[in-house]
Amino acid sequence: MPIIDKHAPLRKKRVKHPKLPPWLTKDVIGAMAIRDRLKKEKKFDDFKKQRNRVKSLVRSAKKAYFDKLVETDKSTSTIWKAINEITNKSNRKTNSTTPPISPNLFNTHFLTLAETLAQSSGCATDNFVCSTLLSNLCGKKLKPDDNFSIPPMTVLDVGKCISTMANNKSTGRDNISPCLLKLALPYIVEPLTYIYN
């Protein structure tokens, strides 16, 4: 949105000293130093043995770290964090520009899904009149004098919903992050409540 780009633009920041991977232990660092020294001294037989030892140590250190991470916190975000670290997602580059399934095909599938299901279940789709089976079911569940209404939302309801949103959730189609919504909450809560109602 242009208004967000004007007042709260995203900034790129260069990180000069990235953190070491959390699984990188002192033993692994020491073994890597020995491996590099052997390579520099051109002791290739010893270097190959040490290189294999480093690979084994790295594999064991990663396994121990991620096992502990997932055991202590079984939340979805922690599991995804572990998967992304294992697969090195941030450094991975893809050469693929065309997805295996076209977005238009995907969209068409979901646009026609309701009509396809309605036809297969015997419901008429031209005027949205459904079978007598569904009508009878609804008639049994509702009493003739039952009323259905949605109470209007208050400013407090909307404010509470927005303020309790998790900051790490992804943005919607409008690219407005939960963090930005929370910052703007005092100014937007009343118009949003009006729109929702």
Residue 132 has a pLDDT of: 74
Q: What is the chain's pLDDT, residue by residue, as a tens digit (197 residues)?
A: 677 778 778 788 777 656 777 788 889 999 999 999 999 999 999 999 999 999 999 999 888 888 887 777 777 777 787 777 767 665 555 555 666 777 788 778 888 877 777 677 655 555 555 667 777 777 777 777 777 677 899 999 999 999 999 988 888 777 888 888 999 999 999 999 999 99
Contact 125, 115 (CB under 8 A): yes
Residue 12 has a pLDDT of: 81
Q: Mind giving me the DSSP string for 85-149? A: HHHTGGG------S-SS-HHHHHHHHHHHHHHHHHHHT---SS----HHHHHHHHHHS-TT----
Residue 109 has a pLDDT of: 81
Each domain of the chain, given as residue ranges in start order, spans: 19-90, 101-148, 149-197
Residue 160 has a pLDDT of: 95
Count CB atoms within 10 A of the CB of residue 177: 19
Residue 93 has a pLDDT of: 58
